[in-house]
């Protein structure tokens, strides 16, 4: 009887989860409730980090704001759910969040077996190592026998095992779930090395008691494309999220910024306006017909204008959160646009 | 409703009004409803998972895990499969629970008896212990002891060295590990014979004491047998024992026996926290025995220690054991808090597997089934123990 009760409770829990997801389209639900529920990290400077007034900032946060701006023309209509690396997929699968924008690596197994879809790569990253400078290590290949701190349930944990195995080195892993406990354990000397995505290393280093005591090793041991994720099976919502990302890139490519978007819009409003800009900004043709595609995906025609006014283009988001003017001082590198030698590339809006 | 009285005077009621038939029918109906509901839930869940492209089933247990676990108690590497990873977590849970129960029991009994001591200082120490450790959440104690190990202790290169080969650092406690060579089985055989002989002697001396009243120094004989026989075995085999001493090699210690700080923190936190509940159960049990029992045993000439051990505690046990069972159960379940500081118990490794595979239902099912069976097993053992300790009336 006891085992039957167990399965019963388990089954009931699962059915309840399943029931919540079986509703109308996500976009309609969001329009009805009036905000986007966005899954973010528990605090990673530059990507998703709450300040002392509980205002969230960071690239991942700004992406959610861009989605909110595209839907509601108001980047503030978004609520954030801080999730640890273990909870994140379950929270998305169960419908607790509408979009997961939480420095999450796009991998084949996640894309195919979790019932999820990655909408793009907000940030091209790779896994690196941080060590105390007092250890005098200058290469990851000299880490034989070290103790490594890492977050559980991440691709980091898997790459780590592969890397040490491939280089025939031994190590001990201390895997802690909570991001803050993990950083604390490393800072208190439980481990010799801390490993995560390199952008994360720069961010976490700021949290150390004495950031100058830690160096980040040059080796990058993996590809970590980080991007927003949605549930599989709702293509309309997937399109909104995917094209919000492309809109950010396209706006940068055409030099449309939060400062000049209105100006560009008026300049191209006449019959002699650039047809490409007209399509992007959703400026109606002379005969009043729609030039853009915003209404086609359930948004307004001037959705790109709303996004850029709300959060700026991709370049603005990057510089504001992680760029040269911030504590992180990360160069654009692989995250530059394709025509500047980077990997960020958006299909044309036409 | 039709009721007739038959020849023998029984009231005859209609078939559907027969209480026996009714109760059976209703129970069958209930079971059927439950079965349909259960079936519906399983089918519904499977369909929902399939329609949302979420993988399900148990095939994932055979796939390569790809992640490492610190100090696996059984053979494990990143090339092992998910099933093996879960087994590592399960073994760690068992080890932690058994050690936790052992130390919590010793601590609890000592402190429970101490609280009743007539010595002011000792009884106050008992009270202080119980009140401090019982009234702060366990999770806080876990973080506290974890920080208490990591913060003040030096790194491995500056490790504190107590005696030859024993080092304490923020990487844990390092000790020499005994390595048994050829012929060590003779010593092991000596140990087994010693234990068997001790049991036999204890029985014989009890029977003799009941018959003649004469006492036999069982404790001393037992110690001599259990330590002496293996020692003799060793000597006979020519000391086939070497020590694997930990040494600094690169970043950390290599070799030897390492006890990681996560395990120490969990063990200490679980033991002191659970020990308080055991202490209270022991105190309640002793106080439940009427004072007349103690006085009677003093009148018979027993000294206080013996009166406690031979008269009071055996009777108190039947009051102590039931709450002791629940304490053991909660210790086992509380060991799942290991995840907070990264000790790889079943919940921690299961969580990693869950995240890598996304198969939440299966993993949560495993968790629930394991903790349920562990709890039932503990209850079973304790109930058997309780039955043995029951007051036998003559």
Asked if A247 and A303 count as a contact pair (C-beta separation under 8 A), the reply is yes
pLDDT at A9: 47
Reported as a single tens digit per residue, the pLDDT across A251-308 is: 999 999 999 999 999 999 888 888 899 999 998 888 878 888 999 999 999 999 999 9
- Count chain A–chain B contacts defined by CB atoms under 8 A: 167
Residue A167: is its pLDDT beyond 60? yes
Q: Do B340 and A190 touch (CB under 8 A)?
A: no
pLDDT at B242: 80
Q: Do B365 and A10 touch (CB under 8 A)?
A: yes
User: Of chain A residues 274-313, which have a CB less than 8 A from chain B?
Assistant: none
pLDDT at A298: 92
Chain B residue closest in CA terms to A161: B67
Fold of the CATH domain B82-176+245-389: MetI-like fold (1.10.3720)
Last residue of a domain, one of A222, A250, A281: A222
B36 touches chain A (CB under 8 A): no
Name chain A contacts of B35, Cβ cutoff 8 Å. none
A90 touches chain B (CB under 8 A): yes
The most distant pair of C-alpha atoms in chain A lies apart, rounded to whole Å, by: 78
Supply angle C-alpha B281, B282, B287, rounded to 5.
100
Last residue of a domain, one of A181, A196, A222: A222
Reported as a single tens digit per residue, the pLDDT across B104-114 is: 999 999 999 99
Identify which has the larger pLDDT, B389 or A5.
B389
Reported as a single tens digit per residue, the pLDDT across B227-273 is: 888 888 878 877 777 888 888 877 888 778 889 999 999 999 999 99
pLDDT band at B9 (very low <50, low <70, confident <90, very high): low
Q: Domain check: are A245 and A115 in the same one? A: yes
How large is the average pLDDT for residues A188-193? 91
Reported as a single tens digit per residue, the pLDDT across B50-81 is: 887 788 888 899 999 989 998 889 999 989 99
Q: Which residues contact A307 (CB under 8 A, 6 or more apart)?
A: A66, A69, A70, A244, A247, A248, A251
* Percent share of chain B, pLDDT over 70: 97
pLDDT at B13: 77
Phi, psi of B6 (to 5 degrees): -85, -175
Q: Is residue A75 part of a domain?
A: yes
Q: Domain check: are A231 and A331 in the same one? A: yes
Q: Domain check: are A182 and A46 in the same one? A: no
A154 touches chain B (CB under 8 A): yes
Please tell me the total count of domains within chain A. 2
Q: Which residues contact A21 (CB under 8 A, 6 or more apart)?
A: A93, A94, A95, A231, B48, B52
* Percent share of chain B, pLDDT over 90: 47
Q: Domain check: are A184 and A136 in the same one? A: yes
The full length of chain B comes to 394
Q: Is residue A210 part of a domain?
A: yes
Asked if A314 and A251 count as a contact pair (C-beta separation under 8 A), the reply is yes
B206 touches chain A (CB under 8 A): no
Q: Is residue A341 part of a domain?
A: yes
How large is the average pLDDT for residues B279-295? 92
Reported as a single tens digit per residue, the pLDDT across A142-151 is: 899 899 999 8
Q: Do B340 and A178 touch (CB under 8 A)?
A: yes
- Count Cα atoms within 13 angstroms, Cβ side, for B369: 13
Q: Is residue A231 part of a domain?
A: yes
How large is the average pLDDT for residues A6-28? 56
Q: Is residue A7 part of a domain?
A: no
Name chain A contacts of B71, Cβ cutoff 8 Å. 172
Supply angle C-alpha A80, A209, A218, rounded to 5.
85
Last residue of a domain, one of A222, A246, A264: A222
Name which of A238-247, A313-322, B188-197, B319-328 the model is least confident about: B188-197
pLDDT at A312: 96
Radius of gyration (C-alpha) of chain B in whole angstroms: 29
Q: Domain check: are A156 and A281 in the same one? A: no
Q: Domain check: are A42 and A75 in the same one? A: yes
How many beta carbons lie within 10 A of that of residue A195, not counting itself? 29
Residue A10: is its pLDDT beyond 50? no
Name chain A contacts of B376, Cβ cutoff 8 Å. 2
Asked if A149 and A174 count as a contact pair (C-beta separation under 8 A), the reply is yes
A113 touches chain B (CB under 8 A): yes
Q: Domain check: are A188 and A200 in the same one? A: yes
B59-66 long-range CB contacts below 8 Å, 24 or more apart? B60/B353, B60/B357, B60/B359, B60/B362, B61/B86, B63/B357, B65/B353, B65/B356, B66/A158, B66/A161, B66/A162, B66/B356
The 3-class SS string of chain B reads CCEEECCCCCEEECHHHCHHHHHHHHHHHHHHHHHHHHHHHHHHHHHHHHHCCECCCCHHHHCECCCCCCCCCCCCCCCCEHHHHHHHHHHHHHHHHHHHHHHHHHHHHHHHHHHCCCCHHHHHHHHHHHHHHHCCCHHHHHHHHHHHHHCCCCCHHHCEECCCCCEEECCEEEECEEEECCCHHHHHHHHHHHHHHHHHHHHHHHHHHHHHCCCCCHHHHHHHHHHHHHHHHHHHHCCCEEEECCEEECCEEECCEEECHHHHHHHHHHHHHHHHHHHHHHHHHHHHCCHHHHHHHHHCCCCHHHHHHHHHHHHHHHHHHHHHHHHHHHHHHHHHHHHHCCCCCHHHHHHHHHHHHCCHHHHHHHHHHHHHHHHHHHHHHHHHHHHHHCCCCC
d(CA A268, CA B36): 66
Residue A161: is its pLDDT beyond 80? yes
**Residue B41 C-alpha from the chain's centroid:** 35
- Which structural domain, as residue segments, surrounds residue A214? 127-222
Q: Is residue A171 part of a domain?
A: yes
Residue B188, token pair as written in the block: 């092991």
How large is the average pLDDT for residues B122-142? 95
Quote the ipTM score: 0.76
d(CA B29, CA B37): 12
Nearest CB to A153 within list B71, B151, B351: B351
Residue A18: is its pLDDT beyond 70? no
A249 touches chain B (CB under 8 A): no
Reported as a single tens digit per residue, the pLDDT across B159-176 is: 888 777 788 888 888 888
Q: Domain check: are A101 and A189 in the same one? A: no
- State the first-to-last Cα distance of chain A, in angstroms, to the nearest integer: 62
* Percent share of chain A, pLDDT over 70: 93
Identify which has the larger pLDDT, B15 or B264.
B264
Radius of gyration (C-alpha) of chain A in whole angstroms: 22
- A194: closest CA among A145, A130, A142? A130
Q: Domain check: are A88 and A137 in the same one? A: no
Nearest CB to A85 within list B151, B339, B355: B355
Q: Is residue A79 part of a domain?
A: yes
d(CA B13, CA B24): 16
Q: Do B170 and A190 touch (CB under 8 A)?
A: yes
Q: Is residue A10 part of a domain?
A: no
| Residue A49 Cα distances to A54, A55, A57, angstroms | 9, 8, 5
Cβ-in-10-Å burial (0-12, 13-18, 19+) of B182 comes to exposed
CATH number at residue A146: 3.40.190.10
The 3-class SS string of chain A reads CHHHHHHHHHHHHHHHHHHHHCCCCHHHHHHHHCCEEEEECCCECCCEEECCCCCEECHHHHHHHHHHHHHHCCCCCEEEEECCCCCHHHHHHCCCCCEECCCCECCHHHHHHECEEECCCCEEECEEEEEEHHHCCCCHHHCCCEEEEEECCCHHHHHHHHHHHHCCCCEEEEEECCHHHHHHHHHCCCCCEEEEEHHHHHHHHCCCCCHHHEEECCCCCCCEEECCEEECCCHHHHHHHHHHHHHHHHHHHCCCCCCCHHHHHHHCCCCCCCHHHHHHHCCCCCCCCCCCCCHHHCCCCCHHHHHHHHHCCHHHHHHHHCCCCCCCCCCCHHHCEHHHCCCECCCCCC
Name chain B contacts of A12, Cβ cutoff 8 Å. 41
Average pLDDT of chain B is: 88
pTM value? Answer: 0.80
Q: Domain check: are A248 and A334 in the same one? A: yes
- A139: closest CA among A200, A196, A197, A218? A218
The full length of chain A comes to 350
A314 touches chain B (CB under 8 A): no
């Amino acid at each position: 009887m006891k085992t039957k009760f167990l399965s019963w409770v388990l089954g009931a829990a699962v059915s309840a989860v399943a029931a919540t997801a079986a509703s109308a389209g996500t976009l309609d639900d969001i329009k009805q409730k009036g905000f986007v529920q966005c899954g973010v990290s528990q605090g990673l400077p530059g990507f998703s980090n709450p300040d002392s007034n509980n205002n969230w900032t960071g690239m991942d946060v700004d992406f959610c704001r861009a989605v909110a701006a595209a839907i509601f023309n108001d980047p503030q209509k978004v609520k954030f759910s801080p999730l640890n690396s273990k909870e994140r997929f379950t929270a998305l699968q169960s419908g607790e969040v509408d979009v997961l924008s939480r420095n999450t690596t796009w991998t084949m197994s996640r894309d195919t077996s979790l019932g999820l879809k990655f909408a793009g790569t907000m940030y091209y990253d790779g896994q690196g190592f941080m060590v105390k400078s007092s250890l005098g290590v200058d290469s990851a290949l000299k880490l034989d026998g070290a103790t490594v701190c890492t977050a559980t349930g991440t691709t980091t944990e898997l790459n780590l095992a592969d890397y040490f195995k491939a280089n025939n080195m031994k190590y001990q892993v201390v895997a802690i779930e909570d991001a803050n406990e993990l950083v604390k354990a490393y800072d208190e000397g439980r481990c010799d090395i801390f490993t995560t995505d390199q952008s994360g290393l720069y961010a976490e280093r700021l949290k150390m008691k004495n950031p100058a005591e830690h160096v980040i090793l040059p080796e990058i041991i993996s590809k970590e494309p980080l991007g927003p994720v949605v549930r599989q099976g709702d293509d309309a919502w997937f399109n909104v999220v995917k094209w919000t990302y492309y809109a950010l890139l396209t706006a940068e490519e055409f030099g449309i910024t939060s400062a000049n978007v209105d100006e560009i819009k008026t300049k191209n409003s006449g019959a002699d306006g650039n047809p490409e800009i007209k399509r992007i900004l959703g400026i109606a043709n002379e005969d009043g017909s729609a030039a853009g595609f915003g209404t086609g995906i359930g948004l307004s025609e001037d959705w790109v204008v709303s996004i850029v006014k709300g959060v700026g283009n991709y370049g603005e988001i990057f510089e504001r959160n992680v760029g040269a003017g911030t504590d992180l001082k990360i160069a654009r590198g692989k995250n530059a646009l394709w025509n500047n030698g980077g990997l960020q590339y958006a299909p044309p809006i036409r | 409703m039709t009721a007739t009285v038959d020849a023998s005077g029984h009231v005859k009621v209609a078939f559907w009004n027969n209480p026996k038939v009714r109760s059976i029918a209703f129970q069958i109906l209930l079971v059927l409803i439950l079965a349909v509901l259960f079936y519906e839930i399983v089918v519904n869940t499977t369909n929902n998972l399939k329609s949302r492209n979420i993988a399900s089933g148990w095939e994932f247990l055979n796939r390569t895990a790809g992640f490492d676990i610190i100090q696996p108690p059984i053979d494990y590497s990143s090339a092992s499969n998910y099933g093996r990873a879960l087994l590592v977590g399960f073994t760690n849970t068992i080890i932690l629970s058994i050690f936790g129960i052992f130390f919590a029991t010793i601590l609890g009994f000592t402190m429970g008896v101490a609280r009743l001591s007539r010595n002011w200082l000792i009884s106050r120490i008992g009270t202080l212990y119980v009140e401090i450790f019982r009234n702060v959440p366990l999770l806080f104690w876990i973080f506290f002891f974890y920080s208490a190990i990591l913060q003040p202790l030096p790194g491995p290169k500056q490790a504190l060295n107590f005696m030859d080969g024993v080092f304490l650092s923020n990487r844990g406690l390092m000790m020499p590990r005994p390595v048994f060579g050829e012929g060590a089985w003779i010593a092991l055989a000596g140990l087994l014979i010693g234990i068997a002989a001790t049991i036999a002697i204890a029985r014989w001396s009890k029977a003799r004491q009941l018959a003649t009243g004469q006492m036999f120094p069982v404790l001393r004989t037992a110690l001599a047998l259990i330590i002496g026989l293996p020692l003799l075995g060793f000597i006979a085999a020519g000391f086939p024992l070497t020590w694997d001493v930990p040494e600094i090699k690169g970043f950390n210690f290599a070799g030897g026996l390492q006890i990681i700080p996560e395990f120490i923190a969990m063990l200490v936190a679980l033991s002191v926290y659970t020990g308080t509940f055991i202490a209270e159960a022991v105190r309640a049990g002793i106080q439940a025995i009427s004072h007349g029992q103690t006085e009677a045993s003093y009148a018979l000439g027993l000294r206080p220690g013996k009166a406690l051990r031979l008269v009071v505690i055996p009777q108190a046990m039947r009051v102590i054991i039931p709450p002791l069972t629940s304490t053991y159960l909660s210790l086992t379940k509380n060991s799942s808090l290991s995840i907070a500081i990264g000790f790889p118990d079943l919940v921690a490794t299961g969580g990693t597997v869950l995240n890598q595979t996304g198969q939440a239902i299966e993993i949560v099912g495993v968790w629930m089934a394991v903790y349920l069976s562990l709890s039932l097993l503990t209850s079973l053992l304790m109930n058997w123990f309780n039955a043995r300790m029951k007051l036998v009336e003559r």
